[in-house]
Chains A and B, each alone.
Chain A
Amino acid sequence: MIWVLIERDLRTLVKSPFILINRTIFFLIQLFVFAVLVSKLASSLGFNYFDFYSVGAVVSTITSIAFIIGEDLFEEEELGLLDYLLSLPFGHSLFVIGRALGGAVRGLIYVTPMMILVAYLDGYFSPAGIAGSLIVVFVLATGISGLSITLAMLIRNANRFDIMIALAELATVRVSAAIYPLAYMPKPLQPVATYSPVTSASDIVRSLFLPGYQSGVYEMVILVLFLAVFFGLGSAFLFRKIEGGRFE
């Protein structure tokens, strides 16, 4: 039954080709124009920016897609679609889990070809390693979905919600080591970025794909904690709203 719920999220994603094409073009331009150019500039420093950025581009893309689930939920409530979904024969708990996982699964399906392309470009060919990297970004995406659901449940005004989602996306991606190395970030942001789950996910995947990069238990703990906190919070807020009759 949970798969049927997730399937709905996938169907709606596939039917939004503009979003898919837009994000794919953005990804490819960032990778083959931006990253190539910056890599040439950074080559004098002995730093392969292309390899570094390629992984970060996949991680930031899945982060961005996982945020959509909150927008979907917000819209569903505004349009009254939530009444329909809640009248269907599955428990409220299953509904909550299904929505959070749905956001992550569609992100995962979307970035899998990107991840394989990046692994190929980085010269990494281990199927087990690629599978591992996909698990890492799936964990991140589930946590991001939880964060997005939490915001959707806490904010009632549509404009405020749009602004908050944009800010949250900006903060999670830009204040992290997805796009640039921590050492080159403004000093005040470095401590925040160090604990960012996006940094952790990027570092773990880099340590798998690229020689010279390391990650360990520390990054895994941050990622799992982020997942636990926001999956839990998002689920709890959504569940509370549903069980309370939503308007009480």
Chain B
Amino acid sequence: MIVFKDVSKSFKGFLAVKDVTCEINDKEVFGLLGPNGAGKTTLIMTMATVYRPTKGEVIVDGHNASLESDKVKSLIGISFQDPKYDRILSAREILEWHGKVTGVEKTVRDKRIDEVLAKFGLMAESRKRTWTLSGGTKKKIENAKVFVQRPKVAVFDEPTAYLDVPSRLMVWEMIDELRDEGSTVLLATNMMDEADRMSDRVGIMNKGEMVQVGEPAKLRGGLRGRDIIEMKLEVPIPELPGEVSKTEEVKEARFEGDTLKIVLSNGRGLLPYLINVVTAKGGKVQSVSLKEPTLEDVFLHYTGMKLS
């Protein structure tokens, strides 16, 4: 288990992480969401003992990150947002050195390196200097370090940035495998689909604070009552917003051009009834869409900001 107890970290008076308290359970994928500059990377670096918390403490698997940094570091493997390795070296050399320094035994290391390189389709390029490779390939090598290490706590900071769709799916599959093998995964991302698909729980960070923690489905569920139905009509009928608002579940209704926009709870259940109301008033419905809350909406709700 990873425990953040009232953790703050400041740099020259700038508070990058502010009073973060949260727990990450063993063998779960914990998504850390937030826009750039939210404090995600600083929080990760504090856990990884690279930064010392200005206040509070981080406990990883029972070890205090400030007092037992060597023990904590031996448990953690990080795939950084921007690839961090010697670009004069080849992928194979980078992975060999990373495996060696993190204590992966040679025969196991060699096997894992071959497996990971093959999965990422990097065999042909494995002996080229990495500075000659594309951004996506460099990112794959950064991720590969953690997949070779297979640490107890695996941290991925924007693991699918720069990657194409097949590579992204491959990374997700490999992270799932890591979790299945018993690793705890901390996944920092600002990609909602990634967080939603991968995470058992997510923590939303904004301006250095952890503003909400929970399971994605529950967080979305917490926003029930914020469904949006958009009905495009052939001709707008002015009395329709007032008519549909007579229903208790409807919070708001208005026309935007020829589209009737209705904010309500239980949109899926009420949709047939609302279409009836509209057609009874002579409205001709051309198209209908129902939008239920997403993690993006959850983020918007708690921070007042859009992620993208």
- Asked if residues A79 and B101 are in contact (CB atoms below 8 Å), the reply is no
Would you call A8 and B78 a contact (CB within 8 A)?
no
Contact between chains at B50 and A86 (CB < 8 Å): yes
- Most chain-B CB neighbours within 10 Å: which of A8, A91, A245? A245
Provide the residues of chain A in CB contact with B89, threshold 8 Å: 11-12, 15
A14 to chain B, nearest CB (A): 10
B85 within 8 A of A: yes
- When distances are taken between beta carbons in the complex, the residues of chain A under 8 Å from B97 are 4, 7-8, 11
A218 adjacent to chain B (CB < 8 Å): no
Please tell me if A90 contacts chain B, counting CB pairs below 8 Å: yes
The number of chain B residues with a CB under 8 A from chain A is: 30
Q: Within the assembled complex, what's the spacing in Å between the Cα atoms of A91 and B69?
A: 7
Point out the residues of chain A lying under 8 angstroms from B52, CB to CB: 243, 245
Interface string of B64-80 (1 = CB under 8 A from A): 00000110011010101
In the complex, residue of chain B having the shortest beta-carbon distance to the beta carbon of A242: B50
Interface presence of A81 (CB below 8 A): yes
Q: State whether A16 touches B70 (Cβ < 8 A).
A: no
Cβ–Cβ < 8 Å partners of B51 in chain A = 245
Q: Does B82 contact A (CB under 8 A)?
A: yes
**Given A81-B85, A83-B84, do A4 and B100 touch, yes or no (CB 8 Å)?**
yes
Q: Counting CB contacts under 8 A, is A216 at the interface?
A: no
Asked if B45 lies at the interface with its beta carbon under 8 angstroms from chain A, I say yes
B88 located at the interface, meaning its Cβ lies under 8 Å from any Cβ of chain A in the complex: yes
What is the size category of the interface that chain A forms with chain B? 20 to 34
Indicate if the CB atoms of A248 and B11 lie closer than 8 Å: yes
Which of A12, A87, A88, A91 is B86 in contact with, Cβ under 8 Å? A12
In the complex the two chains form, is B84's CB within 8 Å of A89's CB?
A: no
Mask, A153-171, CB within 8 Å of B = 1, is 0000000000000000000
Other-chain residue from B11, B70, B80 in contact with A90 (beta carbon distance below 8 A): B70
Q: A12–B88 contact, CB under 8 A?
A: yes
Which B residue sits closest to A9, measured CB to CB?
B86
Q: How far is the CB of B203 from chain A (nearest CB, A)?
A: 20
A245 to B69, CA, bound (A): 14
A5 partner residues in chain B, CB cutoff 8 A: 101
Q: Are A16 and B101 in contact (CB under 8 A)?
A: no
Residue of A nearest to B42 (CB): A245
Question: A211: CB under 8 A from chain B?
Answer: no
CA distance A83 to B51 in the complex (A): 9
Given contacts A4-B101, A245-B11, A247-B11, contact A89 B74 (CB under 8 A): yes
Q: Are B88 and A15 in contact (CB-based, < 8 A)?
A: yes
Q: Is B197 an interface residue (CB 8 A)?
A: no
Contacts of B93 in A (CB 8 A): 11, 15
Q: Is B129 an interface residue (CB 8 A)?
A: yes
A residues neighboring B (CB under 8 Å): 1, 4-5, 7-8, 11-12, 15-16, 79-81, 83-84, 86-92, 243, 245, 247-248
27 A–B pairs (Cβ distance < 8 Å), ordered by A: A4-B100, A5-B101, A7-B100, A11-B89, A12-B86, A12-B88, A12-B89, A15-B88, A79-B84, A80-B82, A81-B84, A83-B50, A84-B78, A84-B85, A86-B50, A87-B48, A87-B49, A87-B76, A87-B78, A89-B102, A89-B103, A90-B70, A90-B101, A91-B69, A243-B52, A245-B52, A248-B12
A-B interface, 6 closest residue pairs, ranked by CB to CB distance from nearest = A84-B84, A89-B74, A89-B73, A87-B48, A15-B88, A245-B51
Listed in ascending order, the chain B residues whose CB lies under 8 Å from chain A are 9-12, 45, 48-52, 69-70, 73-74, 76, 78, 80, 82, 84-86, 88-89, 93, 97, 100-103, 129
Given A89-B74, A248-B10: 12 more A-B contacts, CB < 8 Å: A4-B101, A5-B101, A12-B86, A15-B88, A15-B129, A83-B84, A87-B50, A87-B78, A89-B101, A90-B101, A245-B11, A247-B12
